Structure 1
Amino acid sequence: MTTRERILDAAAHVMRELGLAHATTKEIARRAGFSEATLYKHFRDKHDIFLGVIVERLPPLGAALMDATRHVGQRTVRENLEEVVGAAIDFYSASFPMAGSMLAEPDLIARQRATNAEHGAGPDRPVRAVADYVRAERDLGRLRPEADPEAIAALLLGACFQRAFLEQFVDEVPGGAADSLVASLLDPVLPEGR
C-alpha cells in the first residue's frame, strides 16, 4: 500500500468518525502513521484530502454515471438509471457522516467549494451527468420530447439524497427501492407502449 493510499484510508476513517469539520491533518497523519509533513507531500490541505476520499474511498458514484453514459441507447433507460440510483444512495449514505458537519461552518464550505472548483468536482456534477444522460436518451426518442432532463436528474438524485439522509436517523426508511424511484419518475415520460 502506498503512502497516499494509507493517508486516504486513515482520512476516510477519521472523517467518518469525526466529520470533516473536526477531522484534523494532525489526527489523519497520526492514524496513518506519518508526520503531517508527509500529508502535505501528497495533498495541499484537508480539503484536498477530503476530495481524494470522496473520489477514491467512497462507493463509486462516478463509475455508475460513466456506465450510464456509455449505455445511452442500450439496455433500458430504467435499468441504466436504477444502477445510478443504487450507486447514489450508497455514495450519499457513506458521505453524510463525513460532510454533514461541514454545513455548519461557512468557512469550511467556502474552502471546499474552492477545492471543488479547482478540480472540476462538486455535488452538482452527478446531477449534471444524469441530466446529460436523460437528454441523450430523450434525443434518441427513448423518452418523450417533453421530458425535462434537469428536473428528472434533480428529482431522482434528490430522492437518493433524502433516502441517505433518513438512513442516518431511522431504522426503516420510508419510500421505495431504486426500481420504484426510477419507475415513479420515468413512467410519465416513457413513450407509449414502453
Structure 2
Amino acid sequence: MTPTRARILDAAERLLRTIGLARATTKEIARAAGCSEAALYKHFRNKEDIFVRVLEERLPKLGPLLAELTEHPGERDMTENLTEIARRAAEFYASSVPIIAALYAEPTLLKRHNEGLREINAGPRRPLDGLAGYLRAERAAGRLRPDADCDSAAALLLGACCQRAFLLSTDESEPPLAEFAADLARTVLRGIG
C-alpha cells in the first residue's frame, strides 16, 4: 500500500490540477487521499506546506541543478548550463501555472498563501535567487562580464519561461521546448557573457 504522505501528495496534485488551489481544501485533499484530516496534519503543517511539497517533489526540479552549478562554476559549458536551466524552468512553469492561476482571482487566499510560503521559506523568489546566485558564481569565475547584472539576467530568463507557460495555456503556438531553451540561453548569454 502507498504510504499516507505519498497518497496525500498524489491527491493534492490531482486536485490542484483539476479544481485549483483556491478550491482544494485540506478536508477535500484528505478525502481524496483516503485518510483523515488529522492524518494529513501529521505530515504537513497546512495547505501551503502541501502545495510547496507538490511543487518541490512532483514537478520538474530546478533547485538541485542550480545548487550543483553554483557549487562548481566554470566546469561546464555556460550555454549548455543555461539551456538546461531554461528547459527545466519552462517545464516547471508549464506544470505549475495551471495549479496556481486560481490564486490570483482570490486576493484574500493569495495573501494567506503568500504568508504561508514566507513562513516555510518558500516561494517564487527561490528559483530567481538561485539562478542569480549561479550567475554571480560564474561571474566571479571570470566567465561573465564583470559588470553583468545577474539579477536582471535571471529575471529575464525565468520570466521568458513563465511567459511561455502562459502562452501554452492559451493554446498559442510556441517553438519546441529544446529550441526555445537553446535560443533563450544564447540570447541571455550574449547580453552578459
Both proteins in one fold, TM over 0.5: yes
8 Å Cα contact 1:21-1:105 kept in structure 2: yes
Which residue of the partner structure matches residue 159 of structure 1? 160
Which residue is 1:74 aligned to? 75
Aligned residues of 1:68 and 1:84 also touching (Cα < 8 A):
no
Q: What amino acid is aligned across from residue 3 of structure 1 in structure 2?
A: T
Shift, 1:174, TM fit: 5.5
Question: Which one of 168, 186, 191 corresponds to residue 188 of structure 1?
Answer: 191
Q: Secondary structure at the match of 1:177?
A: helix
Which residue identity is paired with 2:126?
A: R
Shift of 1:64: 2.2
TM-superposed CA distance for 1:38, in Å, is: 1.5
Match of 1:96 in 2: 97
Letter in 1 for 2:182: D
Q: How does 1:138-157 map to 2 (within 5 A)?
A: 138-157=139-158
Segments ≥4 residues shifted beyond 4 Å: none
1:27-82 superposed Cα distances (whole Å, 9 cap, x missing partner): 21121111222112222221121111111111112222223223311111111111
Match among 167, 176, 181 for residue 178 of structure 1: 181
Displacement of 1:109 after TM fit?
1.6
Counterparts of 1:94 and 1:177, CA distance in 2? 17
Shift of 1:112: 1.7
| Aligned counterparts of 1:160 and 1:140: Cα–Cα separation in 2 | 26
Q: Which amino acid aligns with 2:87?
A: G
Separation in structure 1 between the aligned mates of residue 186 and residue 87 of structure 2, nearest angstrom: 13
Give the Cα–Cα distance (whole angstroms) in 1 for the partners of residues 46 and 126 of structure 2.
22
Unpaired runs of 5+ in structure 1? Answer: none
Contact conserved, 1:58 with 1:94, CA < 8 A, in 2? yes
Counting only pairs closer than 5 Å after superposition, residues 1-12 of structure 1 correspond to structure 2 as 1-12=2-13
Equivalent pair of 2:104/2:110 in contact (CA under 8 Å): yes
SS of the aligned residue for 2:161 comes to helix
Deviation sequence 1:57-108 (CA, Å, 0-9, x none): 1111222222322331111111111111111111111111110001111222
What is the alpha-carbon distance in structure 2 between the residues aligned to residue 84 and residue 60 of structure 1? Answer: 10
1:54 and 2:55 matched: yes
Secondary structure of the corresponding residue to residue 20 of structure 1: coil
| Correspondence 1:125 to 2:126 | yes
Distance 1:182 1:35, change over 3 A: same
What is the TM-score when the length of structure 1 is the normalising length? 0.92
Q: Is the 8 A contact 1:19 1:97 kept in 2?
A: yes
Post-superposition Cα deviations, 1:138-171, rounded to whole Å, max 9, x if no partner, equal: 1111011121101100001000110111110125
The one-letter code of the counterpart of 1:185 is V
TM-score normalised by structure 2 residue count: 0.92
Of all paired residues, the percent bearing the same amino acid is 51
Offset of 1:117 from its aligned partner? 1.4
